[in-house]
């Protein structure tokens, strides 16, 4: 074979060998990536004892349980106010002194004649007291000394105690009972927890935007000083509780063919996880009670979503040319 023909034969052969090697290398690389992507990654969780609460959530408003407007028996003028807003009063306590329209006119006339004449008429014509009809708190004061009013105007508003009017969805109503424990969190004081009890359940529903709710009264066990009428509140009703029970993350529990089980570590780390049948009880969505099949301190496995390889970068489909976000990778679920 001539030298020129030999050169023409060798060059294509080398190119074929290079391409074949590159293709084999690429196939091996993608095979490894596919195998890594298919291999699940597990994290461990230890079965622990604790308290589990099944709760019902609702929103509501702080309102007086009994709101009482105090209107004077006669028209006239306030001579003296003895209490302020926020004051607690007892039944029968004098809240203010008032003069009838006739007494106010007589005193004004006597005042023009001098202090002795005024004193004489004040002793002869006594003022009328405005009394607290119930024990409670003054939540509104509408008068000041010297102000005139009619007998149709409320001069004070009393509340015997504040309560939260919570709107409970009809689907949750069966889980609410009189005397049930509840937690109140006010929007204005989000870090303050107020313990309460269910005091009353409405018999008539309220339907708004095709949502049916029942008003449920929740009374604080001890009303805090910062609680005010009209505040927005979030109420957590404790429908059912379990104390000192075995607890596990709900995501660790699997169900298949009517069987409930968890994954546990095999004796040989090269083998896949073992399935262990369990029985479960109460759940709050995040955690679940285990009634049978596991012991305290036992380790179970929870599968995580893994990317193709440990150093793979998470791609962002909204970046041009399939750009990748630096520094991302690992499991798709936070630990």
pLDDT in tens, 89-123: 999 999 999 999 999 999 999 999 999 999 999 88
Task: Say whether both 172 and 153 belong to one domain.
Answer: no
Distance CA 115, CA 111 (A): 6
Residue 219 forms part of a structural domain: yes
The pLDDT score that the predictor gives to residue 65 is 85
Instruction: Decide if 17 is inside a domain.
Output: no
Predicted pLDDT of residue 75: 92
Q: Is 50 exceeded by the pLDDT of residue 305?
A: yes
182 and 154 share one domain = no
Say if residue 134 is in the same domain as residue 216: no
Give a yes or no: residue 184 inside a domain.
yes
d(CA 282, CA 20): 60
* Structural domain harbouring 100: 68-159
Query: Has residue 167 been placed in a domain?
Result: yes
Mean pLDDT within 134-162? 90
Count of C-beta atoms within a 10 Å radius of residue 175: 15
Same domain, 129 and 193: no
For 239-284, the pLDDT digits (tens) are: 888 899 999 999 999 998 889 999 998 888 788 899 999 999 998 8
Ramachandran area for residue 230 (φ above 0: left; ψ -120 to 50: alpha; else beta): left
User: Is residue 318 in some structural domain?
Assistant: no
Average pLDDT score over the chain: 83
Nearest to 204 by CA among 173, 236, 235, 159: 173
Please indicate, yes or no, whether the overall pTM of this predicted structure exceeds 0.85.
Answer: no
> Would the CA dihedral through 11, 17, 23, 29 be positive or negative?
negative
Question: What pLDDT does 22 receive?
Answer: 61
> Among 192, 221, 242, where does a domain finish?
242
pLDDT of residue 4: 54
Number of domains the chain contains = 2
Q: Please say which residue of 190, 216, 242 terminates a domain.
A: 242
Asked whether residue 202 falls in the same domain as residue 220, the answer is: yes
Q: What confidence score (pLDDT) does residue 246 get?
A: 93
For residue 316, what pLDDT band results from cuts at 50, 70 and 90?
Answer: very low
Domain annotation covers residue 250: no
Q: Per residue in 10-19, pLDDT tens?
A: 566 666 665 6
Q: Please, which pLDDT band fits residue 322 given cuts at 50, 70 and 90?
A: very low
Q: Is the pLDDT of residue 196 over 90?
A: yes
Q: For residues 114 and 154, state if they share a domain.
A: yes
Tell me, yes or no, whether 146 and 72 share the same domain.
yes
State the Cα angle at 251 between 276 and 238, rounded to 5°. 110
Report yes or no on 324 lying in a domain.
Answer: no
How do residues 223-243 score in pLDDT, each as one tens digit?
Answer: 898 998 899 999 999 988 889
User: Which CATH number fits the domain that encloses residue 103?
Assistant: 2.40.50.100
Neighbours of 157 (CB within 10 A): 19
| CATH code, domain carrying 223 | 2.40.30.170
Does any domain span residue 323? no
């Amino acid at each position: 074979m001539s030298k020129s023909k030999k050169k023409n034969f060798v060059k294509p052969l080398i190119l074929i060998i290079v391409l074949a090697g590159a293709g084999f290398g690429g196939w091996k690389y993608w095979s490894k990536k596919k195998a890594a992507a298919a291999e699940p990654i597990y994290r461990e969780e230890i079965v622990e004892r604790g308290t589990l609460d099944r709760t019902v959530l609702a929103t509501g408003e702080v309102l007086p349980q009994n709101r009482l407007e105090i209107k004077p028996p006669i028209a006239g003028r306030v001579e003296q106010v003895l209490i302020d807003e926020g004051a607690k009063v007892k039944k029968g306590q004098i809240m203010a002194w008032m003069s009838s329209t006739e007494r106010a006119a007589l005193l004004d006339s006597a005042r023009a004649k001098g202090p002795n004449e005024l004193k004489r008429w004040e002793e002869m014509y006594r003022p009328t007291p405005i009394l607290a009809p119930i024990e409670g708190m003054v939540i509104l004061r509408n008068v000041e000394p010297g102000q005139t009013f009619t007998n149709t105007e409320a001069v004070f508003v009393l509340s015997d105690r504040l309560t939260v009017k919570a709107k409970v969805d009809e689907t949750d109503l069966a889980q609410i009972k009189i005397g049930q424990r509840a937690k109140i969190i006010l929007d204005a004081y989000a870090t303050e927890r107020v313990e309460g009890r269910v005091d009353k359940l409405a018999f008539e529903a309220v339907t708004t935007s095709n949502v049916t709710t029942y008003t449920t009264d929740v009374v604080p066990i001890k009303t805090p000083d910062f609680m005010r009428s009209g505040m927005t509140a979030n109420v957590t009703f404790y429908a059912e509780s379990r104390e000192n029970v075995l607890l596990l993350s709900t995501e660790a529990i699997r169900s298949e063919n009517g069987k409930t089980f968890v994954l546990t570590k095999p004796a040989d780390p090269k083998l896949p996880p073992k399935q262990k049948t369990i029985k479960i009880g109460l759940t709050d969505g995040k955690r679940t009670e285990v009634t049978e099949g596991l012991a305290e301190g036992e380790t179970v496995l929870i599968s995580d979503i893994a990317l193709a390889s440990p150093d793979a970068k998470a791609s962002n489909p909204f970046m041009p040319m399939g750009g990748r976000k630096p520094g991302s990778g690992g499991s798709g679920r936070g630990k």
